[in-house]
Amino acid sequence: MEGLGDKVTVLLEELASKPVFPGGLSTYMLFLLVAFVLTLTFFVVASRKVSLVPKGIGNVAEMGIEFVRDSMLVDVIGPEGKQYLPFVGTIFFFVLFNNLLGLIPGFKPGTGTMGTTVTWAIMVFIVYNAIGIKRHGAWGYLKSFWPKGVAAPLAAFVALLEIISHFIRPLTLSIRLFANMFAGHVILGIFGIFTVMLWNASLAGKAIALLPLAMQIIMYAFEVFVAFIQAYVFAILTTVYINGAVHAGDH
Amino acid sequence: MIGSLSVLGAGLAFGLGAIGPALGIGMIGGKTIESMARQPEMAGRLQTTMFIALALAEAIALLGFVLAFVLMGVK
Decide if the complex's ipTM is over 0.90: no
Instruction: Please count the residues of chain A.
Output: 251
Distance from the B52 Cα atom to the nearest Cα atom in chain A, whole angstroms: 7
Report d(CA A75, CA B42) in Å as an integer. 12
Helix axes A152-201, A210-246, angle to 10 degrees: 160
Which residues are A227's β-sheet partners? none
Report d(CA A179, CA A189) in Å as an integer. 15
Among the ranges given (A8-12, A181-185, A210-214), the one the predictor scored with the smallest mean pLDDT: A8-12
Q: Which of B51, B52, B59 sits opposite A172 (nearest CB)?
A: B59
Q: Which residue has the higher pLDDT, A50 or A87?
A: A87
Q: Which of A175, A176, A236 sits opposite B48 (nearest CB)?
A: A236
CB contact under 8 A, A176 and B58: yes
Q: Say yes or no to pLDDT of A55 above 80.
A: no
C-alpha angle A238-A177-B24 in degrees, rounded to nearest 5? 85
Report the pLDDT value the prediction gives residue B75, as an integer from 0 to 100. 65
